[in-house]
Amino acid sequence: VTPETGIRVDASRCQGHGRCYALAPNLFAFDVEGYAVVATPAPANEADRQLADRAVDSCPEGAIFFSRDSAGG
Amino acid sequence: MTQRDTTFAVDEEFLRTFDYESPEYSEDPHSVLRAVRTASPIVRSDLYGGYWFVTTYAEGYRVLADPKTFSSSVTLVPPPEEPFDLIPVTVDPPDHTAYRKLMTPLFSPGEVARLEPAIRARARALIATYLSAGAGDFVAEVAIPLPSTVFLELLGLPQSDLPRLLQWKEAILRGRVAADDDVRNHALQVEIPGFLEYASTIVADRRAAPPTGAPDVLTGLVSGTINIDGGRPMTDAEIVSAVALLVVAGLDTVTNALAFSMETLAKRPDLRQHLAENPELIPTAVEEFLRFWSTVTTSRYTTTDVEIAGQLIKAGDMVSISTPAAGRDPAQYEDPEEIRFDRAVNRHLAFGAGPHRCLGSHLARLEMKIALEEVMTMMPQFVIASCAEPTHVFGHMMECTNLKLTIQP
């Protein structure tokens, strides 16, 4: 995964709301302090890519970024 | 977009003397909040020495997420006479960051998940007692004791401390600000010193003898190191303050969130039945109830001049953020007055935002999820008891104080 594509969490913005791993436990996990980490940087199918989009929209701190590569993944 | 007609009209004079402890507000807060929000995202009232009142999600988020401009050194309008500091609520970064770094892991999703069996057992026992007594007031019998029993589990304390804890909680949250002199004096001179002595004793006991079982929050506070003065353990006084915070912030908040959820379900058989038939919706239902019934109005102290929604907020001004109003902001939510368990995106400020975001949010969600799951299993059919309208207190907290239910066969 290049920096331009895939799922990314900005650790400096994450406040541990936990929306992302409640919404998409296959894509996100939490570290020992309860902050979000990416479990699956490159979602493999369209359903997971849509979940990633929802996680971006759901993060109250705007800490999640997801950009699809040119092939749509 | 549908918007319920407001029966409440506001004018300049109403806004200039806006008071979230007023009779209009305590009668029907959401009609008042809707009218105020329609007037402006942020209004200024001359009461309590003057303060700003924020009613939208976007502006509320902005204030909460900017601790440099909006300090937590004062978090209530008018400023209360606190009997103790509440670490880390009333502390700003960088010290706040040091306390949170120690405390946040103790309340992480993984840590609180370990409590699930204990919470479920407590919830079942309380509901069973409630049902065997022929139902009655769900608030007194289930919603109040549940978070307190969980508090005792969390701190590794015996459940036999529950009656004392409930008594101290009342004194800390209500007794010390009661209008009645005798009640207030009793809280300040007997109950609160009694609680502080109890808290000091449990801290000393834990330092002397770590528990043999799984580590609990109290052990974590006693044994951890905070990055202040080059790294040191928390002092006894700091831990007592943190324990007091757990009482102030973690008990009535869950009680009210659960009570309002139950009141809504009791009045909406369609929603209740939908949830009973689809219990996998309970987690998103919890989020929806948190949004719809956000209970806390918190405040911040402005440190430098700043503009919000075209208004100049001056250094020294207090700003109150109404999370109940933000939770029904039509700019943020489609049909905000509708309760929907399937909102794909449901950001809300029920737990605040930014660095002071609720430490216990994962625990609170878990308690609500388990309570609703057990309700749907053990007493899926319930309605408001006849001739027993629920009672509320609407002020800087939204409280549901009595909820008599009838269980249907």
Enumerate the residues of chain A whose CB falls inside 8 A of the CB of residue B283. 22
Residue A26 has pLDDT above 50, yes or no: yes
Whether the CB-CB separation of B324 and B398 falls below 8 Å is answered with yes
Among chain B residues, CA nearest to A22: B283
Among chain B residues, CA nearest to A50: B344
**Other C-beta atoms lying within 10 Å of the C-beta of residue B16:** 13
Q: What is the pTM of this model?
A: 0.91
Instruction: Determine whether the interchain pair B65/A18 forms a contact, defined as Cβ–Cβ distance below 8 Å.
Output: no
Answer whether B260 touches A (CB < 8 Å): no
For B307-316, the pLDDT digits (tens) are: 999 999 999 9
Q: Which residues have a Cβ under 8 Å from the Cβ of B244 and sit 6 or more positions away?
A: B84, B86, B172, B195, B196, B199
Instruction: Determine whether the interchain pair A34/B110 forms a contact, defined as Cβ–Cβ distance below 8 Å.
Output: yes
**Which of A12, A13, A15, A37 would you mutate first to test chain B, the one with the most B CBs within 10 A?**
A15
Instruction: Determine whether the interchain pair A58/B351 forms a contact, defined as Cβ–Cβ distance below 8 Å.
Output: no
Give the pairing of strands B70-71 and B297-302.
antiparallel
Angle, helices B145-154/B236-250, rounded to nearest 10 degrees = 150
Q: What angle do CA B336, B339, B340 make, to 5 degrees?
A: 105
Q: How far apart are CA B328 and CA B334, in angstroms?
A: 9
Enumerate the residues of chain A whose CB falls inside 8 A of the CB of residue B348. 60
Percentage of residues of chain B with pLDDT beyond 90: 80
Q: B17: distance to nearest CA of chain A, Å?
A: 32
Instruction: Determine whether the interchain pair A18/B344 forms a contact, defined as Cβ–Cβ distance below 8 Å.
Output: no
Residue B226: helix, strand or coil by DSSP?
A: strand
Q: How far apart are CA B233 and CA B98, in angstroms?
A: 11
Instruction: Determine whether the interchain pair A34/B61 forms a contact, defined as Cβ–Cβ distance below 8 Å.
Output: no
Kindly report the average pLDDT of chain A as a whole number.
Answer: 87
Q: Residue B227: what pLDDT?
A: 93
User: Using CB atoms within 10 A of its CB, is residue B307 exposed (0-12), middle (13-18) or buried (19+)?
Assistant: exposed
- Of B20, B25, B16, the C-alpha closest to B8 is B25
Instruction: Determine whether the interchain pair A34/B347 forms a contact, defined as Cβ–Cβ distance below 8 Å.
Output: no
Mean pLDDT confidence for A34-61 = 93
Q: Residue A33: what pLDDT?
A: 78
Mean pLDDT confidence for B68-84 = 81
